[in-house]
Structure 1
Amino acid sequence: MKTEKWMLMTIIMTLFVSMVSPLTTIAAAKETIEDESIYDLLVDRYFNQSFENDFEVNTQTPEAFAGGDFKGVVEKLDHIEKLGFSMISLGPVFSTETYDGKRVMDYGKLERHFGTSEEFTALIDKIHQKNMSVIVDFPIQNVSSKHVLASNEANDAWIIENTDGTISFDLTNEDAQQAVLNAALDFVTQYKVDGLRITSIEEVDTNYLNDMINALKEENEDFYVLSNEPSEAEFDAKVSTEQEELLRQAFKTVENETTGIVEPTEGKPVIQQVDSLNSRRFTADSAESNMFPPTRLKMAMATLLSIPGVPLMTYGSEIAVNGEQPPESHPLMNFKTEEELIEFIGDVQKLRNGSAALRTGSIEMLHNEAGLMIYKRSNEEESWIVAINNTGGTQSFDLPREVIGDNKELNGLFESDILRQKDDGNYKLVLSREIAEFYKVNDNKGFNKGYMAALALVYILFIGFIYLVWRKGKQKKREAEMK
Structure 2
Amino acid sequence: MRRAEISTIMNRYETRTPFKQVEWVRSIVGYQIFPDRFYNGDPGNDLKANSTDELWINEVSKGTPVFTRWDGPVTPLHCCHQYFGGDLKGVTEKLDYLKELGVGLIYLNPIFTSGSVHGYDVYDYYTVDPKFGTLDDLKTLLDEAHKRGIRVIFDFVPDHVGLGFWAFQDVYRNGPSSRYWSWFIIYKWPFKLGDSSAYKCWWGIGSLPQLNVLNKEVRQYLINVALYWLSIGFDGLRIDTPLDVIGSENFFRELREVVKSRYPDAYIVGEIWDYRPEWLRGEAFDSLMNYYLGRNILLSYAKGVLNGYTASARLSEYYAGIGVNVAGMGFNIIGSHDTSRILTDLGGGGLRDTPGNESIKRLKLLSTLQYTQPGMPVVFQGDERGVTGRQSNYDEQRYPIQWDRLNQEVFEHYKKLGELKNTIPALSTSIIHVLSTEGSILAYTRGYNDEVLVVANNALEPVAYKLPEGNWSVLYVSSGENMEVDNGSITMPPLTAIILVKEQSSTISNVTPPTFTQTSNTTTQTTAPSNNTSLTQPGEELWKTLSPVFTAVAVLAFIIVAIILIKRVRTRVDKGI
Mapping for residues 344-363 of structure 1, pairs under 5 Å: 344-363=413-432
Read off the aligned partner of 1:284 and give its amino acid letter.
T
Structure 1 counterpart of 2:209? 167
What count of residue pairs does the alignment treat as equivalent?
Answer: 403
Pairwise CA distance, 1:356: 2.6
> 1:164 deviation in Å?
1.8
Aligned to 1:47: 39
Listed one character per residue, the Cα deviations across residues 240-294 of structure 1 (whole Å, up to 9, x for unaligned) are 5543323222212487452313432323334333222222332332228987432
Counterparts of 1:245 and 1:374, CA distance in 2:
17
- Whether the 8 Å CA contact 1:281–1:321 is kept in 2: the answer is yes
- Going from structure 1 to structure 2, the CA distance change for 1:271 and 1:186 (only over 3 Å counts) comes to closer
1:91-129 deviation line (CA, Å, top 9, x unaligned): 111001111111110011101111111111111111111
- How far did residue 399 of structure 1 move? 1.6
Match of 1:429 in 2: 490
Hey, what does 1:177 align to over in structure 2? 219
Change (3 A) 1:157 1:234: closer
- What's the offset of the Cα at 1:239? 3.4
Aligned partner of 1:245 in structure 2 is 296
Contact 2:159 2:213 in 1 (8 A): no
Q: Cα deviation per residue 1:52-94 (whole Å; 9 max; x = unaligned)? A: 1111532444231210011111122222222222111011110
Shift of 1:358: 1.6
Q: Structure 2: how far apart are the matches of 1:441 and 1:323?
A: 41
**C-alpha separation in 1, matches of 2:182 and 2:440:** 55
Distance in 2 (alpha carbons) for counterparts of 1:240 and 1:90: 17
Question: Quick check: 76-85 or 249-258, which moved more?
Answer: 249-258
Q: 1:199 corresponds to which residue? A: 240
Maintained 8 Å contact 1:307/1:359: no
Q: What corresponds to 1:311 in structure 2?
A: 377
Match of 1:295 in 2: 361
Letter in 2 for 1:120: L
Between the aligned partners of 1:247 and 1:437, the Cα distance in structure 2 is 15
Q: Does 1:322 align with 2:377?
A: no
The TM-score with structure 1 as length reference comes to 0.77
Query: Contact 1:376–1:384 (CA<8 Å) still a contact in 2?
Result: yes
Residue aligning to 1:392: 460
CA distance in 2, matches of 1:429, 1:239: 34
1-structure distance, mates of 2:167, 2:361: 48
| Structure 2 equivalent of residue 413 of structure 1 | 476
| Distance 1:147-1:255 versus aligned 2 partners, 3 A rule | closer
The letter of the residue matching 2:35 is V
Residues 361 and 172 from structure 1, CA distance in 2 versus in 1: closer, same or farther, beyond 3 angstroms? Answer: closer
For 1:412 and 1:179, the matched residues in 2 are separated by 51
What is the SS of the residue equivalent to 1:167?
A: coil
Q: How far apart, in 1, do the equivalents of 2:42 and 2:378 lie? A: 28
Q: Specify the alignment match of 1:277 in structure 2.
A: 337
Q: In the alignment, which of 217, 229, 239 is matched to residue 187 of structure 1?
A: 229
User: What is the DSSP-based 3-state SS (H/G/I as helix, E as strand, rest coil) of the residue aligned with 1:329?
Assistant: helix
In the TM superposition, what are the counterparts of 1:67-466 in structure 2 within 5 Å? 67-152=85-170, 153-160=178-185, 161=199, 162=201, 163-165=204-206, 166-189=208-231, 191-204=232-245, 205-229=248-272, 232=279, 234-243=284-293, 244-253=295-304, 256=307, 257-259=310-312, 260-263=314-317, 264=319, 265-267=321-323, 268-269=326-327, 270-287=330-347, 292-318=358-384, 319-325=386-392, 327-335=395-403, 336-380=405-449, 383-401=451-469, 404=470, 408-414=471-477, 415=481, 417-419=483-485, 422=487, 427-443=488-504
Q: Which residue of 2 aligns with 1:468?
A: none
Cα drift, residue 224 of structure 1: 0.8
2:291·2:332 contact (CA, 8 Å) conserved in 1?
A: no
- Note the C-alpha offset of 1:418: 4.2
CA RMSD after TM alignment: 2.4
Q: Name the residue aligned to 1:33.
A: 25
Deviates more, 1:281-290 or 1:42-51: 281-290
**Separation of aligned partners in 1, 2:25 and 2:139:** 23
Q: What is residue 194 of structure 2 aligned with on the other side? A: none
1:299-320 superposed Cα distances (whole Å, 9 cap, x missing partner): 1110011122432222222223
1:252–1:291: 8 Å Cα contact kept in structure 2? no
In structure 2, what is the Cα distance between the partners aligned to 1:299 and 1:413?
Answer: 11
Aligned pair in 2 of structure 1 residues 65, 71: CA closer, same or farther (>3 Å)?
A: same
SS at match of 2:437: strand
Greater shift in the superposed pair: 128-137 or 226-235: 226-235
- Work out whether residues 237 and 310 of structure 1, in 8 Å CA contact, stay in contact via their aligned partners in 2: no
Give the 3-state SS of the residue equivalent to 2:243 in structure 1. coil
Q: Normalising by the residue count of structure 2, what TM-score does the alignment of the two structures yield?
A: 0.65
Give the Cα–Cα distance (whole angstroms) in 2 for the partners of residues 362 and 229 of structure 1: 23
C-alpha change, 1:92 and 1:101, in structure 2 (3 Å) is: same
Matched residue type, 1:35:
S
CA spacing shift, 1:92–1:297, aligned 2, 3 Å: same
CA change 1:320–1:51 in 2 (3 A) is: closer
Q: Which moved more, 1:220-229 or 1:153-162?
A: 153-162
What is the CA–CA distance in structure 1 between the aligned matches of 2:436 and 2:96, rounded to whole Å? 37
Tell me, which stretches of 5 or more residues in structure 1 are unaligned? 1-29, 445-483
CA distance in 2, matches of 1:277, 1:183: 24
Q: Any conservation in 1 of the 2:431–2:448 contact (CA below 8 Å)?
A: yes
SS in 2 for 1:169: coil
Distance of 2:25 and 2:102 partners within structure 1: 16
Which residue in 1 is equivalent to 2:544?
none
Task: Tell me if the contact between 1:253 and 1:286 (Cα under 8 Å) persists in the aligned partners.
Answer: no
What residue ranges of structure 2 are gaps of 5+ in the alignment?
1-21, 51-66, 171-177, 186-198, 350-355, 506-577
SS in 2 for 1:108: strand
CA distance in 2, matches of 1:329, 1:234: 30
Corresponding residue for 2:564? none
CA contact (8 A) 2:145 2:151 kept: yes
C-alpha distance in 2, partners of 1:300/1:413? Answer: 14
Aligned residue number for residue 467 of structure 1: none
Aligned-partner SS, 2:485: strand
Structure 1 counterpart SS, 2:130: coil
Cα 1:73–1:239, aligned 2, differ >3 Å: closer, same or farther? closer
Shift of 1:364: 2.6
* 1:472 paired residue number: none
2:162 alignment partner AA: S
Quote the Cα distance in structure 2 between the aligned partners of 1:100 and 1:94.
10
